[in-house]
Structure 1
Amino acid sequence: MKKKSAIHLCLVGGSVLLVAQLSLLGLLLYPHNQRHTHFLKDVETLVNITSKLRMSLVAIDSEALQHFNNQKNGVRMQCVLCETKHPATFVTLFRGLKQSDDFVSMLQEARFHVVSLQNLNPPEVPSGISINIPICYLLKRNIVIHLVLFHEREGNYWWHGGLLSDPRAISELSTFGLSVHTVQMMKTEGAFDKFETDLVDMGGIPILIPKNIPRFLHDTESSRFIECSHVLADSFHRSHGKDTTPEALRFVHRAWKLLSKAKTLLDKLGIRFWISSGTCLGYFRQCDIIPYSKDVDIGIFISDYSEKILPEFLAHGFTLKHWFGKVNDSLELSFSSGDLKLDIFFFYEDGRFLWNGGTQAKSGKKFKYVFPRFTLCWTEFLELKVRVPCETQAYIEANYGSDWFTPMTRWDWKSSPPNVRENGEWPPDEWSEVMRVYN
């Protein structure tokens, strides 16, 4: 009898322990599954609302896109969409204030808490963009969703604002348990080339994602955008006037066409470039091409050099004017298109500095132009989406000194720049290789 009681007691105790373990497991798993359920319901509701308004909703959350890409390669996951970072990040195109108002009303009817952040106080006044338009929405019903608004710019690309352009951003983010550092996008203004999307199934929800996920994620890392300062440009024109003669306007138009053509070819080759020297000075100082500069200047990191540059440019109507230097030292290419010149300066690393070279053809003397290190940002220059050094003023001051605001019509490339240094001479037996000049 005592033996049976002991066995019975052991069975009961084991059952209780098993139930307790299962209950604990349920407690651990249920919140996770519950979050997935709530997440999918919130996203499904958002998809339905945007569909009714004919808005394209694109999932751009980096974690979800990476997991989806892995899943295509055979790594199975129960809920790819649920692997988003906090907050979940999506994007849609801004289609006007009327649609925006309708969208907010429908979200509120669906019991979302909605905060709209606006472009109230941008670092620079955006070209062609109102300063009070919405730039993103923060949504919460069960989960937090950050919905970024892309705006189409005149240069045929998509732009988004920076969160801090709205003075309320930090306090509004804090009510969602967020900060500027916790969001994936909009820490600064950004720009993206227009991209194609695919309609895919994520957790039973049909949703759009970028067609080329690796390319989109790469572009996101280098999407920072800065605006040309129209306030500075207005100040410059008030102080020094604006050349609107037919000759000046014709040159500016032809120089724009030259820059646009070079951009098309280098974009095709996947080569990063930025506007440099006098072209960059005109952009920074007056948001325009300097009418008396007579050429267009761009920079390329030597690490991005490609042997395809020369044949691509020659095949599309450019003529090689000169080739100075070597790929590993002071390379500079100059092309002509009609009577206009395009100079391509290649930049090299040297510790804390970057530099590009110059060569005097008649003497073989070498020169070096030294710049503090810089990163690259997108900008819109005369309706072209091009890169400039993010640290634009430091770049300009290195090349033109502190008096860069004052126009200088006389300029000696060997002595006028404050950052020029003599850099030895090319050996005479190398002249035929490093100094190729063409008529």
Structure 2
Amino acid sequence: MPRVNRTIVLSLLVISSSVFLLFQLYYYRKYVGKAGPHILSRTGHLTSSDVQWQTVKKFLALAQRFRLPMFLADTAALGLLSQDALRQRDRQVREPHCSFLCTDRPITSFAVYANLWKYDPGFLLAAEQKGFELLQLRGEDPRLASLDTLSGEEIPLHFLLRLNGHVIQVVFLYERSGNYLWHGALRLRAHADRSFAPFKMLDYGRHAGVYDRPQLVLTVLDGLDVQVPHNISRFLSEQRHARFLECRYRDAHNFLQLFPDDSSAAAVDFRRKAKSLLHVAARTLALLDIPFWLSSGTCLGNVLTRKCANTMTSQHDKGMSPRLSHPLQAGSGSAASSHTVVTWTLGSSSGTSGGGQSGAVLCE
């Protein structure tokens, strides 16, 4: 009989302990988990970091519900991720519950792969129901542009969602025919609320920009699942130099009216070789991690104002910044001297018309 009583007592203790643990888990998920880090604040008041964390959490929950293919593109937050471990550890001491997403800025930026998400008006409706104020910014789709006018339909370029004074910027990245990602400039309409956000502090929208498609990794930041670029330093470097100039389609149309394109076999072959040369040059310099720019006047004129295409010239010049570049490997030239020109040729070098294409990189 005493043995039976002991068994009953042990069973009751196990059941009681389990119920207590389940209650603690329920309390944490319902109150602490939802309320966020400010529960543990000494002052008992919401700080700017608390507001930012809560706003980002609500937005990420919405994005997950509507399956937005997005990643963290905020330069301040990504900058914290790319810093050395010592500085990260020092920040964790000051903000133990929000070390990376709480940047003390009134804006947090995310990027969406627009080609992978079918626009759903229900997303904005759900955001409003969660308390977000919305500002949609749309523009013409340059992918549907003809040579005479930008006649494409309007597409979403930027969403701004504001909650408790903190703004989430959603920038839409569209895949262009050159296998790169493009986002449009942020331009306010005449009736738009210009006090909606601190527009001068936005990471994206001052001008149009282009990016290589970044490889993404899923990680946990401050308790939230977030996708970030795998190579953060490269992405931040691209962001600083991502300004994009659209071709002047109307000028190109007028030029072609006066000077029709040569459709002969020789001209078509010439343009094919020109494109091949530019692609080879760009890939080669990219592999060497050398920033460069197009400096051929004829080529620039054709690309931007005349034909929105490659140049009709046998010489293509690219400029390279000596402050940003690395020394070239032996056999391809040297960047040590004050003036170095690296040249290469694609096709025949006989010097006959259309027989070959040559390129040059000038290092000053």
Flag whether TM exceeds 0.5 (same fold): yes
The correspondence for 1:138, drawn from 145, 160, 171, is: 160
Pick from 78, 93, 98 the counterpart of residue 113 of structure 2: 93
Match of 1:107 among 95, 112, 127: 127
Summarize the Cα distance change of 1:234–1:297 in structure 2 as closer, same or farther, 3 Å threshold. Answer: same
**Aligned partners of 1:126 and 1:151: how far apart in 2?**
18
State the 1:118 CA deviation. Answer: 0.7
Give the number of aligned pairs: 304
Secondary structure of the structure 2 residue equivalent to 1:288: coil
What is the aligned counterpart of 2:72 among 40, 59, 67?
Answer: 59
How far, CA to CA, are the matches of 2:337 and 2:274 in structure 1? 29
Q: 1:225 to 1:331 in 2, by over 3 A?
A: same
Question: Does 2:353 align with 1:344?
Answer: no
Distance, in Å, in 1 between the alignment partners of 2:69 and 2:117 is 16
Q: Is the 8 A contact 1:81 1:202 kept in 2?
A: yes
Paired residue for 2:290?
271
Shift of 1:134: 0.7
Q: CA RMSD in A?
A: 3.2
Quote how far apart the aligned CAs of 1:309 are. Answer: 7.4
1:145-197 alpha-carbon deviations (Å, 9 max, x no partner): 11111111111221111112x4349x43x232423x22122111111111122
Q: Indicate the percent of aligned positions where both proteins have the same amino acid.
A: 22
Match of 2:181 in 1: 158
TM-score (norm. length: structure 1): 0.62
Confirm whether residue 333 of structure 1 aligns to residue 342 of structure 2.
yes
Judging changes above 3 Å, is the alpha-carbon distance between structure 1 residues 211 and 305 closer, same or farther for their aligned structure 2 residues?
closer
> Is 1:230 the counterpart of 2:245 in the alignment?
no
Aligned equivalents of 1:200, 1:27: Cα separation in 2: 26
Q: Does 1:247 align with 2:284?
A: no
Instruction: Give deviations 1:260-317, integer Å, cap 9, x for gaps.
Output: 11111110111122222232232133222333x2343322234436322744xxxxxx
Is the CA contact 1:121–1:167 (under 8 Å) kept in the aligned structure 2?
Answer: no
The answer to which of 263-272 and 192-201 deviates more is 192-201
Query: Does 231-240 or 65-74 show the bigger shift?
Result: 65-74
Distance 1:306 1:100 in 2: 49
| Matched-pair contact (CA < 8 Å) for 2:211–2:242 | yes
Q: The residue matched to 2:285 in structure 1 has which SS?
A: helix
Counterpart-to-counterpart distance in 2, 1:147 and 1:333: 42
**Match of 2:68, SS?**
coil
- Describe the shift of the 1:185–1:129 C-alpha distance in structure 2 as closer, same or farther (beyond 3 A): farther
Alpha-carbon distance, 1:259 to partner = 1.1
CA drift of 1:329 comes to 4.4
Distance 1:27 1:58 in 2: 29
C-alpha distance after superposition, 1:200-230 (max 9, x if no partner)? 2222111112222222222211111111211
Change in Cα spacing, 1:93 to 1:190, as seen in structure 2 (3 Å) is same
1:39 to 52, 58, 77: 52
Q: Which secondary structure state, in structure 2, belongs to the residue aligned with residue 42 of structure 1?
A: helix
CA distance in 2, matches of 1:140, 1:43: 11
Distance 1:30 1:126 in 2: 59
- What TM-score, normalized to structure 2? 0.73
Which residues of structure 2 form unaligned runs of 5+?
1-39, 349-355
For 1:207 and 1:129, the matched residues in 2 are separated by: 37
Q: Write the deviation string for residues 226-272 of structure 1: whole angstroms up to 9, x where unpaired.
A: 11211111111112222122211121112111211111111011112
The structure carrying a bigger strand percent of its residues is 1
Name the SS of the counterpart of 2:254 in structure 1.
Answer: helix
2:237 maps to 218
**8 A contact 1:266–1:309 mirrored in 2:** no
**Contact 1:57 1:92 (C-alpha < 8 Å) held by counterparts:** yes
Pairwise CA distance, 1:95: 3.7
In structure 1, the residue matched to 2:189 is 167
1:110-140 CA deviation, whole Å, 9 max, x = no partner?
2321111011598xx6999945111010101
CA contact 2:141–2:152 (8 Å) conserved in 1: no
* Other-structure match for 2:4: none
Q: Which amino acid aligns with 1:59?
A: L
Distance 1:168 1:72, change over 3 A: farther
User: Residues 349-386 of structure 1: CA distance to partner in whole angstroms, max 9, x if unpaired?
Assistant: xxxxxxxxxxxxxxxxxxxxxxxxxxxxxxxxxxxxxx
Contact 2:209–2:243, Cα closer than 8 Å, also in 1: yes
